[in-house]
Amino acid sequence: MTTLRHLVIFNPIAAKGAALQRIPKVESLLNSQGIVYNLVLTERVWHAAELARDAGRKGYDAVISGGGDGTMNEVINGLMMADAKGEKLPIMGVLALGRGNDFAYGADIPATLEDGVAAIAEGKTRPMDVGFIKGGDYPQGRHFGNGVGVGFDTIVGLEAAKMKHVHGFMAYVLGALKTFIIYPNAPFIRLRHDGGVYEQESHQISIMNGKRLGGTFFMAPGAMNHDGLLDLCMATRLSRRNMATAIVRYTKGTQAELPFITTGRSSSFSIEAPLGGLYVHADGETICENGSSVQIECLPGKIQLLCRV
């Protein structure tokens, strides 16, 4: 791997700015492994996508996402833009520098910088599926690497993002408490997938390529991002008590045992809400608020991912 050229796309504001202080350590580790690289700092929203889109044409063999799940999402979208033009794609790697690092957890990316750089140096890859969602603010579609949330967890994330002085897991906890107080209605949804149709009121739906959301919640503990399928975890309309029970189970990955949870796998999903009410995110990026429909599909083996195979 030391003969390959690596573009390290580094988000200096990842982990609320803590990533910036880790640049010297990252460079020291890369140098110690003899990795040929160019480290570029992102300067604005979507800059990582632009850098990843152009990486192959500029002669890079590998693109390394240095940041959190938002950076990873942009890098994947940039690579898929290049793929749409029929260009040869660099392989992709990740240095987990965010707060949650949910994608890295589900993709067998090492959690520590030392192990992450070692995995890049080892150069072992496997195919990775990429998710694609259309609807809401993205009628043309947007790709994702980890998962889509519909309903309760999206609203929690929106509430957490409003907090200026509380960050990380505690912001998510406070966002959840505020959402519990508001407790929005469960919209009526029609969910189509490979196995048929569900019609019900639903407070929460997760469609996962990875295993975990929010740094703590194992929405699809058995998911694999290289099986050509996305994993479903769907709740019916829940009382506050049942929602609390579900959240506790999510932290353990045992929610499939609950009578009000439906799980499954499919290559594609269509979610319609005839009366509106869909709050949707993909990899933490808002897709719609009070939307009426989204379409989601799995694109098998689109990226070669550097990981601990």
Using DSSP, how many helices (H) and how many strands (E) does the chain show?
8, 16
Q: What is the pLDDT of residues 214-247, one digit of tens each?
A: 888 999 999 999 999 999 999 999 999 999 999 9
Q: Do 5-123 and 133-301 fold alike per CATH?
A: no
Q: Which amino acid is at 214?
A: G
User: What is the Cα–Cα distance from 106 to 253, expressed in whole angstroms?
Assistant: 13
Nearest to 144 by CA among 103, 104, 172, 116: 103
Cross-strand pairs, 111: none
Q: What is the pLDDT of residue 169?
A: 66
Instruction: Concatenate the DSSP letters of all residues of 186-212 into one string.
Output: PPEEEEEETTEEEEEE-SEEEEESSS-
CATH superfamily of 5-123: Probable inorganic polyphosphate/atp-NAD kinase; domain 1 (3.40.50.10330)
Residue 16, pLDDT score: 82
Q: Where are the alpha helices (DSSP H) in 107-167?
A: 113-122, 152-161
Residues of the chain with pLDDT under 50: 1
Q: Which sequence spans correspond to the domains of the chain?
A: 5-123, 133-301
Instruction: Please give the structure tokens belonging to residue 290.
Output: 């009070």
User: What's the fold here for domain 133-301?
Assistant: Tumour Suppressor Smad4 (2.60.200)
The pTM (predicted TM-score) of the whole model is: 0.94
**Amino acid 1: pLDDT:** 45
